[in-house]
Amino acid sequence: MSSVIYPFTAIVGQERMKRALILNAIYPQIGGVLIRGERGTAKSTAARGLAALLPEIEVIAVCRFGCNPHRPESWCDECCELFKDGAEIPITRRRIRLVDLPVSATEDRVVGTLDIEKAIQRGERHFEPGVLAAANRGILYVDEVNLLDDHVVDLLLDSAAMGVNVVEREGISFTHPARFILIGTMNPEEGELRPQLLDRFALSVTVEGIKDPDARMAILERHVQFEQDPAGFRERWLPREQQLSDEIARAKALVEQVQYTRADLATIANLTAGLSVDGHRADLVILKAARAHAAFQGRGAVTEMDILLAAELALPHRLKRTPFQETHVSMQELEQRVEQARAEADAAEMSDPMSEPTPNVKKNLSRG
């Protein structure tokens, strides 16, 4: 089997899936993406392709967890101890890693383990890293996430939300960063996630086999070419891969500076309230995804279209449904609802001319 990765930009169609992955790559704080669909719809191909095109990152060369040398506040316990006296930090660059989590994974396999015996007998704190450590600053890919133990899924989602993994045993603790892009895939025919877990995936996309004959022909042609000459096929797509990689890098640098207004916040709030969405996670996700999309487009402010495209990914799996009713909202209906929500926000702004934007809102929410 070829070790050459199929290019992300060569995937035909599945635009919503690609958009959801790109937005998470730009702004991992969004909180991951769940991709639901039957087998053979490019779910794993997209995840591996994304990892292959993302820009290299700088890491502390001697760190087991790939700590960011420029963010000491996020360092693991080992780096904090090693460089507490201002020692020179050795820096190297490496590719983004994609770490697979098997469905049989246990809690210890995910979070890592502390050797209590060494701690008691020798006074040494020895930590054996788990999957979360390997995935730090990379991509954690969970195929058939619906077949994982619910407790393990909870651990993954908690770490994805907090960006840190804390392991405690018998009064001993170890902390390391666990910032990763969480990608879960599943086939709904094999069972669903509990609603409580489903809501904690920031974005969700349902992918289906493409019906258009021309698009199916393009898929067939590209896969035949890839099978015949994997390296040559990837080489031909390299310019597009590099272009997208550069666009993601520029967006990552811009996203924290993307501005939004009180009217944007009101539009999001009116939209989710109008759709009877429980909780407030969806509102925060839409805002973060809208800012990421604006940054990807090279803009410094959120627009109504950014909110619409973010809502398309953040809302469908959070809409209430009866046991035999699928959650679905068309793009046209969503667009109408966003326009209505914006009109309500503008009307409220007009009725309260003294209200002003709060300068710190952007900073606080961007780190949520």
CA-closest candidate to residue 164, choices 182, 153, 178, 180? 178
Q: Is 277 left (phi over 0), alpha (psi -120 to 50) or beta?
A: beta
Among 200, 234, 281, 318, the one annotated catalytic: 281
- DSSP symbols for 3-40: -SPPPGGG--S-HHHHHHHHHHHH-GGG--EEEEE-TT
Amino acid at 281: R
Give the end-to-end CA distance of the chain in Å, rounded to a whole number. Answer: 42
Residues contacting residue 53 through CB under 8 Å, at least 6 positions apart = 7, 8, 9, 241, 242, 244, 245, 248
To the query of whether residue 281 is one of the catalytic residues in this protein, the response is yes
Q: Does residue 258 contact residue 295 with C-beta atoms inside 8 Å?
A: yes
Distance CA 214, CA 276 (A): 40
Distance CA 266, CA 261 (A): 9
Distance CA 266, CA 275 (A): 14
CA-closest candidate to residue 283, choices 138, 275, 206, 19? 275
- Give me the half-sphere count of Cα atoms (radius 13 Å) on the Cβ side of residue 353: 1
Instruction: Point out the residues that are catalytic.
Output: 281
